[in-house]
Amino acid sequence: SVANNTSNISTFEGQYALFTSSGTIFQSSNYVTSYAALTSSQSNMYLVSMSSNGRYILAAGSTTNGGATTLVYISDNYGNTFTATTLPTANWSTITMSPSGQHMIAGIGNVTTGGGNYYTSNSYGSSWITFSASQIWTGSAISVNGQTQVICNTNANSGTGSILISKSYGSTWTTSTAPTSLQWQKIALSASGQYITAVAASSGIYVSSSYGASWSQNNTATSAWSSVSLSSSGQYQIAS
């Protein structure tokens, strides 16, 4: 998948792949022939995202897996070392980066406090833009060139949620026309950013082929959808 969606697995069609288990990051550098734990990373790392060449890795704790409150860490040397970003200690719920590693998104999802801010970086994680909010940010994705970015949220108390879109490399955001009566869980987009698919809790799958300008509900069964991924062209999609 070119548009690297936040999860406990981060892979590209290439040499490097990552997954997390019990807060430990495991890396394959040999086309998934074998995996080894990244002892250089911090503990309680449940969210990972990786650049297409494997050089840049973004990692953080998660509200849903382990409930760890952590900093967000980055490696720029294939996981040999990790350093803390300037982002605050928080219960993180989504992180992602563009295939180049230059553009990044991180969102807070502390359920106890009703959520938190989300952040973007266009400088390989060296500096961040803060967007003040009180939402539980559940998913995010970035196009190949970094220009189109999406992030979704949910509010368990009100049963609502929204999808935000940036077409300015994450510097400004607008609320999309996707339904706000759904609790959005995950979101993915094609390499160009034209095709976007999002899944909602106890609802359906929604798709856009117009860079988020309009949305339609797929005729799949209503279910507790929790993940989605797209091929680079957007032709092939998978949800669970």
pLDDT at 3 over 50: no
Mean pLDDT, residues 114-121: 88
Question: Which pLDDT band, with edges at 50, 70 and 90, does 5 fall under?
Answer: very low
pLDDT at 192 over 80: yes
Residue 150's closest CA among 138, 164, 136?
A: 164
Tokens 């996707």 label which residue?
178
Looking at residues 109-121, what average pLDDT do you find?
80
Greater confidence (67 vs 142) lies with: 142
User: CA-CA distances (angstroms) from residue 50 to 4, 79, 134?
Assistant: 8, 10, 27
pLDDT at 68 over 70: no
Q: What is the mean pLDDT of the chain?
A: 88
- Residues 177-195: what's their mean pLDDT? 95
- What pLDDT score was predicted for residue 13? 62
Mean pLDDT of 123-141: 94
Is the pLDDT score of 26 beyond 60?
yes
What pTM, to 2 d.p., does this model score? Answer: 0.92
Min mean pLDDT across 45-54, 130-139, 154-163, 167-176 is at: 154-163
Phi/psi class of residue 82: alpha, beta or left (left: φ > 0; alpha: ψ in -120 to 50)?
A: beta
Instruction: Round to whole Å and give the CA distance between 161 and 200.
Output: 9
Q: What is the DSSP string of 65-121?
A: TB---B--EEESSTTS--EE-SSPSB-EEEEEE-TTSS-EEEEE--TTTT-EEEEEE
Q: Is the pLDDT of residue 193 over 90?
A: yes
Q: State the average pLDDT over residues 167-190.
A: 96
Q: What is the rounded distance in angstroms from the CA atom of residue 232 to the CA atom of residue 193?
A: 9
* Torsion 121-127-131-136 (CA) sign: positive
Smallest Cα–Cα separation from 136: which of 119, 158, 161? 161
